[in-house]
Amino acid sequence: DGATAVDLGSGPGPQSLALARLGFTTVHAVDTSAALLAELTEHARRSGAARAIRTHQADIRGALPHLAAPGSVAAVVCMGDTLPHLPHRADVRELIAQAAEALRPGGSFVATFRDLTTALHGPDRFLPVRSTADRILTCFLDYADGDTVQVHDLLYTRRNGAWHFASSSYPKLRLAPQWVAEQCAAAGLAVRHDTAGPRGLRTLHAVRSAG
């Protein structure tokens, strides 16, 4: 029916491509990385979805009002672990409010995010992320306060027979599922589905009320 969807924090576009395959005729893919959006554009070209997908290099905060008129979008998705990467809880609250404003009655907001509210201790703070023959990524967590956790990535890569080490660090929000659900309700979204998956990854589906 000419439905529009918005993918916030699209990365290389697995969700954007899936939305196009589901029949959305316009999919706005928003990400700050030009490289990942270029990768998405190539994937869309190869899969025949290029006509549906429109890429936007932008901060997901504040993007929705510029992409869609109020009440015009059938679906807004924010997948992966994007929400906890926002700087402040107020940013999460505002993003949900903008999604509710953009959605048409009955439209869906779908988000996944990792529940980091329960602090890990000792060796449990070290988490294997990904491992191949030439790449090993591990992270460990520091719980600085009740609102954030500092994530430290430890990356080993093998090149020309030698292993090389690199590290990085960044904060993530500790978002309680109940708090996220409350922000949806406050914005006029009815939570229909909220479940826990592997390693604390939550999946939330909320629908814009008809009123």
Task: Give me the domains of the chain, ranges plus CATH numbers.
Answer: 4-115+175-208 (3.40.50.150), 122-173 (2.20.25)
Position 181 scores a pLDDT of: 98
Q: Which residues of the chain have a pLDDT value below 70? A: 1, 211
Between vectors from CA 68 to CA 174 and to CA 96, what angle results, nearest 5°?
20
Position 211 scores a pLDDT of: 63
Position 192 scores a pLDDT of: 97
Position 141 scores a pLDDT of: 95
Q: How far apart are CA 126 and CA 142, in angstroms?
A: 10
Q: Name the phi and psi angles at 127, rounded to 5.
A: -125, 120
Task: List pLDDT tens digits, range 17-76.
Answer: 999 999 999 999 999 999 999 999 999 999 999 999 999 999 999 999 999 999 999 999
Q: Please report how many Cα atoms fall inside a 13 Å half-sphere around the Cα of residue 9, on the Cβ side.
A: 17
Burial of 73 (0-12, 13-18, 19+ CB in 10 A): buried
Considering the entire predicted model, what is its pTM? Answer: 0.91
Burial of 167 (0-12, 13-18, 19+ CB in 10 A): exposed
Position 198 scores a pLDDT of: 82
Q: How far apart are CA 100 and CA 103, in angstroms?
A: 5
Position 60 scores a pLDDT of: 98
